[in-house]
Structure 1
Amino acid sequence: MFNALFGVKTTIIGVILLALLLMLPQFLPRFYVYLCALIFAIALLATSLNMVLGYGGMYQFHHAVFYGVGAYAFALFVIKSGLPPWMGYVFAPFCSAALGLVMGLITVRLNRLYFGMLQISLGSLVWAITYRWYTFTGGDDGIHGIPLPDLVASSTGAYYCNLIIAVACLMVMYMIVNSPFGRTFQGIRDNPERCQAVGVNVQQQQLVGQVIAAFFAGVAGTLFVTVEGSVFPELMFWTLSLEILIMCLLGGWFIFLGPVLGAAIIICLRTFAGIYTEYWTLILGVVLMLLIFFLPEGVLGLLLHRAGPTSRKES
């Protein structure tokens, strides 16, 4: 089944890479284990954005709001519900999906740029409520010291938790984008008018796509809490959405694993650049400028282009 879906060569490479990732915590210092666990969460977030951006052609300019809502829903569930923390991993993504449904019902009536601008407005409203609601969300202080299950409380436990969940979600998303729904979604991206003419309900398909993407962004939010043990309003600020968008473009937004590579590059660059300078946003702006001029297909797109048509087909 997996060979038929992913291709023999791709499956073999994936198994080898997964085996290497499973062994990494035995050799890496604790800081790098933490950094890898964070990359898994952000890679899942970037890929969830790319489902609607690269595959659906939807200008999702404030995707971070679903990530932040997932993180806050998980944190509040663990602290206030009194139920087993593991249930939060199920509860939080559905909260993000519910927000995606509400925002989608409002925004899918609009096209492209107007869709994106209205989404920024609605997302900023959610951020403002979170930022000021001190009695429930902690306001601008956020929520710290979130109790986690013993199995994921250590850096190694968080690493394996994030790796397993991220890989499982990436596989599900890959199957979605290659399903009949995914093919229809890509058709809407390329020519929504023609899809509408042949009987496809474009707005309904886009709404379903946004809910799915919001769900997986919520999963990424729970993985962030697993790594950090805290949440704060910046998780749903619009500047993070811009950073996620750059990850998709940098890795290759028409390639499924492009955002994963882009997330790894940006997180590593931000982490190590922060040692030498405080002007991370300036560096990010330079990266975006160079990307637009020299890497319009992204890093992975360039590599696959040079590898030839056979490699592109198998990817």
Structure 2
Amino acid sequence: MVFSELYRALAARPKDAALLNDRLCQVGLDVAWFAEAADSYEAKWDETRSQPAPFALEPDHTLLAGWILAGMRRTGPSHDVSDELLKRMRARAAERPCGITNPLPAALNVRVVAWTLGQVVGDIDRDLPFVPVRPPRDPHVAAAYGGLVEYCLQLKAVIREPWPELIGTATFVRGLGLAEALKPDVGSYKEGKARPALKALIQEARLVLPELEFNKLQRHFLVNDFVSTRNTLSHVAPDPDKPTFVDLVDVARTWDDVAPTVSGVTQFVCQQISNELHGSREVDPSLWDRIRWDLEVYV
């Protein structure tokens, strides 16, 4: 059902038809394929929707969808596609036995972040934590981001708010570490790597975020000097003319305090994955012929 609604949504974007057609032509398809694929996925949905748990297809189905979306990474923000897809998912999930709509099962709780397809897991937040179509290629970044997702899943489940101060500040340390790892070649010994990495990542985000969301991201990480906050929290000893540890000790006591950091890091990671998928050879002209059998044969 996810793929059926995604491809119908993309087919309904005439302004992007030429770009999507060019993308699909790289793997021997064209925009007419959207209708064929949507019908095939719809038929599979009809076959399986009475099952107690959502039916999940093999990862190559998600990879193909993610690869197609990555081709739109230069067209502007992806929020409208994400919101439309979520709206469709909620309407279609209501067709399931007992009308599952809130919260959606993770398999149906899909989003598009920086033109990267993925799903929201857990019930801590409407949009977080986010598991993308595939991990970043860098195994260290992938492991660190996976750890952040796992950590977020435990926050509200294990400890009541307000949290002990170390609980929330751990996201600041991991978040900035991921930013630096995503841009390892920027910065210098003199200026450090953290601020240049954040500036580069935020500049990339300008194209794929609405202005309001971009301004929030820039304010959180640059205007409010996230690097200094992280340094104070991790180094403890005061720096002249900087807020002290005591000044900042209560900065991350609730989910609302840490959500902007987690959201920003998610944005940065998804930008990287979209970049990788855009020029990737993970999808080839034979992929659809291989995976469409999953839709024709009950597995």
Give the structure, 1 or 2, with the largest relative contact order (CA under 8 Å, sep 6 or more).
1
TM-score w.r.t. the length of structure 1 is 0.28
Highest CA radius of gyration, 1 or 2?
Answer: 2
The structure whose residues are more often helix, as a share, is: 1
The structure whose residues are more often strand, as a share, is: 2
